[in-house]
Structure formats: C-alpha cells, structure tokens
C-alpha cells in the first residue's frame, strides 16, 4: 500500500507542475521521461516535452542517453528518448555540448536488438554521413549475415551521401537483386552515378521492364544525360504500343528539357502527341500532352 501511495503521489506531480515556469516544467518532464517509476505512456508523453531541456543540464542529458542505451528499458520509451534527443539536435548552438555524447550513443545502439530502433538510429547517423554507420550498412550489403537492416533500407540510407562508395554494392544488387524493392532502391542510388547512364537508357527503353523501374530510369537519365533522355523519350512517344504512363513521363521530360526549335519542327512527334491527347488515355495524361503541345506546337 505504501508503495502504491508513493507512486500515486509522484504521478500527480506533472499536473501540479503545470503552473511552473517553462524551464522548471521541462526539467520535470526530463525527470519523468527518465524515471522507471512512471508508466510507459507518461514517460513517452514527458519525453515529447523535453527537447531543449535535455541540453541544459549534463545530468539530464546523460539520463536521457542512458535510457536510449538501456536495452532493459521499454522500446517505446527508448524511441521517445531518441526522438527527443533528435529534436534537440536541430538547435545546433544549444546542442553543441551534447553532440559528442549523442553521436557516440547512436553508434553504440546502432546494432540494438530492436529493429525499429536500429533503423531509426542508423537513419540519423546516415544523415550525418557517419563513417561508422556507412561501414556497417555496406558490410551488411556485402554479407547478409551481418546486415543490420534489409538491403532496400540500407541502400536508401547510403544514398544520403553521394560519397559513401555504395555504387559497387548497388550495381551488384541490380545484377542479382534479393527482392524487387532492393532493386528499385539500388537504381535510385545509382541515379547519382554518371557512369550508370547507359544502364538507365537501356532500362527505360525496355518495354518488358516494370513501369516503375522505367520511370526511375527516365528520372535518372534526365539528371545524368538529358540529351539521351530526349532521344529515348522521342522514340517512346512515336511507339504506338508503349504504355501511357511511360509516354506521360517522356512528355514531361521533353516539355521541361526539350530543344524548343528542334521539337517545334518535329512533325512526326507532334502528330503522335496530338494522337495521344485525343486518344483513350486518362485526363491527367491528356493534360501532360496539352502542356507539351502548348509549348511546342506552333500550329495550335
């Protein structure tokens, strides 16, 4: 009974503190978030109120980091602590004193048994272009037994840094994909690799390829070799048998990047686009065709 009364007394504190100054309230929220005496719900709610308060006291900061590190703590509370610390890190000046501990702790929990926590921590480190996280992610792509995340997620995180040396791993996955999502992410990552343009051109023109892959390829080609995209886009638009969504992507590319003089004189292409606009395609695609014709078809 005595213990129950103590807990009840403690739980009533957040309500009584509502009238306290913001600083005192925030400090109190940190103490709730980091104390196992409160329920998971109370602790996660308190963690959401703490962000900048955690930087104001080294003790609070260490307590919050300890929650994040502690595998015996409920995962929901650890995730809430992570979110609070992440929010605090946006305030670069206030976070200056905490950053070293924060990054070191993220690395410490990068291989945590909980997959959600692991993924979020690796995501935060990857955004920092952290060499430790990049090495772990690359190791997992080379050796699935060491993988901390599924390959598609690892590729997505590696793509945050163009200098991460992930192109070779991505090319290997395109060649022999463990699943379709991994293949897609590998292609998205390779969209920044100038040497991958020929591969994207081939994929974009392949009518047997998945449409999403062809769209990713078109987008990549427009960044890497816009003149090749225009050539391929023209061929796709002249091909009566190709898919409407791919034609619409090609039209958008030509509308944005096309050589105005050459396209205005391209009668075969203009006829084909006019046919596409007046055909059975969706209103959305007709509008795309109309934009193209408004720009290039001087006869209109």
Partner 1 sequence: MPDATVAGAVSEPQFAALVDAIAADPARRGQLAGLLREDHAIYAERGTAAIARMRGWILLAMARGGVSDAALVFVLEELDSGTDPYLVAAAARALRSGRLPHASLTPFVMSALANIRYRDEAVSFERYGEYAVSATGTSPVRELLATLAWLGPQARGLLAEVEALRAPVGGLPRKFRIDVERALAAIRDGDRGADAAGDCCGMRPAGSIGMHARAAEATPPSRAIEAMVLEDQDGTKTTFKAFFCGQPSIVVFFYTRCDNPMKCSLTIAKLARVQAMLEARGLADCIRTAAFTYDPAFDLPDRLRIYGQDRGVRTDAGHRLFRAAEGNDALREHFGLGVGFVGSLVNRHRIELYVLDAVGRVAVSFERLRWDEQEVVAHASAMLDGSPA
- The 83-102 site mask, x for binding partner 1 (CB under 8 A), equals ---------xx--xx-xxx-
Sequence-distant (6+) residues with CB within 8 A of 147 are: 139, 140, 141, 154
CA dist., res. 60 & res. 219, Å (int): 47
**In whole angstroms, what is the distance from residue 47 CA to residue 41 CA?**
10
Does 218 interact with partner 1 (rule: CB under 8 A)? Answer: no
Contact 79, 38 (CB under 8 A): no
What residues from 268 to 287 belong to the interface with partner 1 (CB under 8 A)?
A: none
CA-CA distance, 233 to 218, in Å (whole number)? 8
**What is the per-residue burial (b if ≥16 Cβ within 10 Å, else e) of 107-127?**
bebbebeeeebbbbbbbbbbe
Q: Of 130 and 152, which CB lies nearer to partner 1 in the complex structure? A: 130
Compute how many residues bind partner 1; rule: CB under 8 A. Answer: 32
* Separation CA 66–CA 55 (nearest Å): 14
Residue selected from 7, 20, 66, 104 as contacting partner 1 according to rule CB under 8 A: 104
| By the rule CB under 8 A, 146 interacts with partner 1 | no
Compare residues 26 and 125 and give the one whose CB is closer to partner 1: 125
Binding flags for partner 1, 11-50, as an x/- string (CB under 8 A): ----------------------------------------
Residue 160 burial (C-beta neighbours within 10 Å; 0-12, 13-18, 19+): middle
Q: Which of 12, 71, 179, 195 binds partner 1 (CB under 8 A)?
A: 195
Which range in 27-35, 80-88, 113-121, 132-140 contacts partner 1 by CB under 8 A?
132-140
Closest to partner 1 by CB, 80 vs 98, is 98
* Cα–Cα distance for residue pair 191/223, rounded to 1 Å: 8
Q: Tell the burial category of 100 from Cβ atoms under 10 Å away from its Cβ (0-12, 13-18, 19+).
A: exposed
Binding partner 1 (rule: CB under 8 A), the pick from 1, 8, 15, 194 is 194
Q: CA angle, 235 as apex, 182 and 257 as ends, to 5°?
A: 75
Place of tokens 């929220």: 29
Tokens of 9: 């007394």
Instruction: Compute how many other C-beta atoms are within 10 angstroms of the C-beta atom of residue 198.
Output: 12
Measured from the CB atom, the residue of 135 and 267 that comes closer to partner 1 is: 135
Give the integer Cα–Cα distance in Å for 260 and 277. 20
Binding window for partner 1 (CB under 8 A); candidates: 77-85, 126-134, 260-268, 288-296: 126-134
Q: How far is the CB of 67 from partner 1 (least distance, A)?
A: 16
Binding of partner 1 at residue 139 (CB under 8 A)? no
Residue numbers 153-192 binding partner 1 by CB under 8 A = 161-167, 192
> In terms of CB distance, is 131 or 279 closer to partner 1?
131
> Binding of partner 1 at residue 103 (CB under 8 A)?
yes
Find the part of the chain contacting partner 1 (CB under 8 A) among 79-87, 103-111, 173-181, 211-219.
103-111
Instruction: List contacts with partner 1 (CB under 8 A).
Output: 58, 92-93, 96-97, 99-101, 103-105, 107-108, 129-132, 134-135, 161-167, 192-195, 224, 226
């Amino acid at each position: 009974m005595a213990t129950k009364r103590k807990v009840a007394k403690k739980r009533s504190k957040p309500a009584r503190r509502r009238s306290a100054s913001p600083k005192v309230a925030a400090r109190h929220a940190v103490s709730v978030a980091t104390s196992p005496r409160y329920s998971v719900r109370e602790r996660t709610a308190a963690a959401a109120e703490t962000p900048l308060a955690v930087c104001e006291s080294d003790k609070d900061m260490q307590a919050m980091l300890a929650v994040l590190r502690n595998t015996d703590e409920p995962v929901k509370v650890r995730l809430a602590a992570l979110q609070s610390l992440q929010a605090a890190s946006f305030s670069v000046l206030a976070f200056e004193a905490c950053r070293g501990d924060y990054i070191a702790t993220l690395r410490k929990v990068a291989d945590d048994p909980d997959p959600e926590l692991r993924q979020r921590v690796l995501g935060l480190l990857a955004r920092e272009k952290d060499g430790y996280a990049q090495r772990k992610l690359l190791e997992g792509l080379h050796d699935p037994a060491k993988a901390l995340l599924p390959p598609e997620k690892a590729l997505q995180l590696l793509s945050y840094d163009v200098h991460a040396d992930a192109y070779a791993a991505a090319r290997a996955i395109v060649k022999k994909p463990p699943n379709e999502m991994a293949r897609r992410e590998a292609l998205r990552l390779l969209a920044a690799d100038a040497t991958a343009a020929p591969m994207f051109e081939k994929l974009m023109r392949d009518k047997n390829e998945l449409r999403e892959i062809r769209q990713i390829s078109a987008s990549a080609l427009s960044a890497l070799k816009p003149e090749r995209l225009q050539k391929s886009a023209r061929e796709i638009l002249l091909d009566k048998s190709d898919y409407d969504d791919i034609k619409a992507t090609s039209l958008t590319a030509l509308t944005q990047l096309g050589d105005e003089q050459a396209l205005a004189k391209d009668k075969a292409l203009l006829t084909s686009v006019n046919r596409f606009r007046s055909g059975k395609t969706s209103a959305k695609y007709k509008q795309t065709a109309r934009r193209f014709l408004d720009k290039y078809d001087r006869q209109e």
